Amino acid sequence: MKRAKKKTITRVAAGAIAGLLAGLMLFGLVADLFFRVSASAASQSDVDALKEKLEDQAAEKEKLQNELDSIDTEKATVKEQIEALDAQINSTEEQIGLQNDLIDSLEEMIAQKEEELAEAQKKEEEQYEKFKTRVRVMYEQGETSYLEVLLSADDLSDFLSKYEIVSQIAEYDKNLFEELKALKEEIAQTKSELEEDRQQAENVRKELEVSKSELDTQLANRSQAMKELESAAEEVKASFAEIEAEEDAINAQIDKIVKEMEEEAERKRQEQAAQGGGSTSTGTTQVGGYTYPLPSGYRYVTSKFGYRNHPVTGVYKLHTGVDISAPNGTAIYAAQSGTVIIAGYSSAWGNYVVINHGGGVTTLYAHMSKILTTKGATVSAGTQIGKVGSTGYSTGNHLHFEVRQNGSYQDAGRILGLY
């Protein structure tokens, strides 16, 4: 936007100044040259600035890449931690399962002991009932007590016999009760031991559950850390993609500016050609003692004086004159007064004319479509001697203009003020 605006201002200014200087062709040329150069320089500096920006982008990308690498390293560490925690949690859960099995079997055993205890209790009660029945029977038969049984003895022998029986019965009852009591105690003892075991197993399970809960917390924490790292990586990747998109945009802008620069150069060239071609004036211009050899508008130089690869032959050699672009048929003027010493054709120059101006100075005009003078003719400065064409070794319509002084080639373009 900024660049386009600047360019518009440049164009407007160029137009205004060109208007002011209308008619002053030399100054017009200078102004034109100035704006062409400044417009190109501005665009070139834009390109340079964009290229610099691309370098910044590359540095930023490298920074992001490093960030992404360190995030990946951290992610690998967290992943290991998560795997270790998973393994610990699995083993803890397994241990909890074992404790649960142990508790289940202990409870089964406790239940069994309770059953046994109940059975012993029942036996004791049954025994007690039997004892009471026996006592009641004895009572109902008048033998209400051991004492009565004993006192019913007929004699000592009977008494001793009865005593023996009573004692045995009493002993039997007593033993029976004691046995039952011992059995009950033993069962209760076993049951209490089992209950202790169960309590211990429950404690172990509780500890395992506490450590599992701690592991779960750690795992949740690590999972959260992993999530954060992943979203950080996503952000970095998004920034990276943004920079790449910007790079694409910058490259497209560079391409656009370069294309505009080329189009601008082409436009200038056509403008200059149109100025000369569209002009009905055949008026000539003086430059440093020379008459400009074409109508004044044609100033577009396609090849300067100096060493170059020849556009047709490709050979690297001195370009002995200056090539000025002009349409076929454009008038060619004698640059100074003098005598035509050559007016003919060569395979290289096509139709060409050489004029001797005296003082060791000659000029040459080549690639003409038509020669309008003859060898030996005397010409004045500005006399039309031919028409622009593309005869001989030429790639397009132009005037090849050459100046020699005492046989050595002069830079004809510089002499004409073309550069």
Q: Which residue ranges make up the site for Zn ion (CB under 5 A)?
A: 323, 400
- Name the residue nearer to Zn ion (CB basis): 350 or 382: 350
Place of tokens 């691309």: 54
Residues in contact with 1: Cβ distance below 8 Å, sequence separation at least 6, in sequence order = none
Residue nearest Zn ion, CB atom distance:
400
The answer to whether the CB of 373 falls within 8 A of the CB of 354 is no
- Name the residue nearer to Zn ion (CB basis): 113 or 400: 400
What DSSP line would sit under 380-412, residue for residue? -TT-EEEE-B--SS-SSSEEEEEEEETTEEE-H
Side-chain half-sphere CA neighbours of 413 within 13 A: 19
Write down the least CB distance from residue 386 to Zn ion, Å.
15
- Name the residue nearer to Zn ion (CB basis): 32 or 323: 323
Specify which residues 319 forms β-bridges with: 306
Residue type, 93: E
Residue type, 391: T
Side-chain half-sphere CA neighbours of 52 within 13 A: 6
Write down the least CB distance from residue 32 to Zn ion, Å.
23
State how far the Cα of 13 lies from the Cα of 6, in Å rounded to an integer.
11
- Name the residue nearer to Zn ion (CB basis): 198 or 400: 400
- Name the residue nearer to Zn ion (CB basis): 46 or 323: 323
Task: Report helix, strand or coil for 324.
Answer: strand
- Name the residue nearer to Zn ion (CB basis): 231 or 313: 313
State how far the Cα of 158 lies from the Cα of 117, in Å rounded to an integer.
42
Cα→Cα distances 172→135, 143, 177, Å:
14, 18, 8
- Name the residue nearer to Zn ion (CB basis): 162 or 400: 400
- Name the residue nearer to Zn ion (CB basis): 133 or 395: 395
Write down the least CB distance from residue 45 to Zn ion, Å.
33
Place of tokens 């005593």: 163
State how far the Cα of 285 lies from the Cα of 292, in Å rounded to an integer.
5
State how far the Cα of 25 lies from the Cα of 44, in Å rounded to an integer.
28
Write down the least CB distance from residue 261 to Zn ion, Å.
26
Write down the least CB distance from residue 402 to Zn ion, Å.
8
Write down the least CB distance from residue 400 to Zn ion, Å.
3
Write down the least CB distance from residue 319 to Zn ion, Å.
6
State how far the Cα of 189 lies from the Cα of 70, in Å rounded to an integer.
65
The alpha carbon torsion through 245, 247, 249, 251 (nearest 10 deg) reads -150
Cβ–Cβ contacts within 10 Å for residue 398, how many? 26
State how far the Cα of 63 lies from the Cα of 55, in Å rounded to an integer.
13
At 62, list the tokens: 């490298």
State how far the Cα of 418 lies from the Cα of 294, in Å rounded to an integer.
12
- Name the residue nearer to Zn ion (CB basis): 205 or 400: 400
- Name the residue nearer to Zn ion (CB basis): 28 or 321: 321
